[in-house]
Amino acid sequence: MSLVAEENELCSCHEEHPELVQKVRTQLAENSDIDKMSEFFKMFADSSRLKIILSLLNNELCVCDLTSVVQMNQSAVSHQLRVLKMMRLVKSRREGKVVFYSLDDEHVHDIVALAKTHFEEEAW
């Protein structure tokens, strides 16, 4: 964004709108929920975790498959999967000796799919 465009987006009136401010304040989540949401979104800020999440977007994979896809060692993938599982972004299921991982639910799938679509549509 150019400096001129940034200047055009600044409000120069210095006038508050008290009714609107109060309305938005009442609509904000509680601080504890905001903290949880902040931690949730931090999970997407790490490129290793994001690669794993994107790999699981439409595929159920075991650790060995994930290791090959994201080109990380098994220990690192396992560590990231534990973190993602703790944050309820991924889930696992056992089939014999193999543990398969997938996104935890449709909410996680939708968030990831929307972000992916957004960045595929935008010219960066």
Over residues 2-12, the pLDDT tens digits come to: 544 556 677 77
Domain definitions of the chain by residue range: 16-121
How crowded is residue 66: how many other Cβ atoms within 10 Å of its Cβ? 23
Tokens representing 21 are 């401010």
Q: How far apart are CA 59 and CA 53, in angstroms?
A: 10
Please say whether the beta carbons of 111 and 87 come within 8 A: no
Confidence (pLDDT) at 8? 66
How confident is residue 16, by pLDDT bands cut at 50, 70 and 90?
Answer: confident
Handedness of CA 115, 45, 40, 6 (dihedral sign): negative
Q: Is the pLDDT of residue 98 over 80?
A: yes
3-state helix, strand, coil in the chain (%, to 5): 60, 10, 25
| 16-121 belongs to CATH 3.40.30.110 | no
Give the chain's mean pLDDT: 89
**What is the pLDDT confidence band of residue 122, given thresholds at 50, 70 and 90?**
low
What are the pLDDT digits (tens) for 43-76?
Answer: 999 999 999 999 999 999 999 999 999 999 999 9
Q: Where in 1-124 does DSSP place strands (E)?
A: 61-62, 90-95, 98-103
pLDDT exceeds cutoff 50 at 1 = no
Rg of the Cα atoms in the chain: 20
pLDDT-above-70 percentage for the chain: 90
Query: So what's the pLDDT on residue 23?
Result: 84
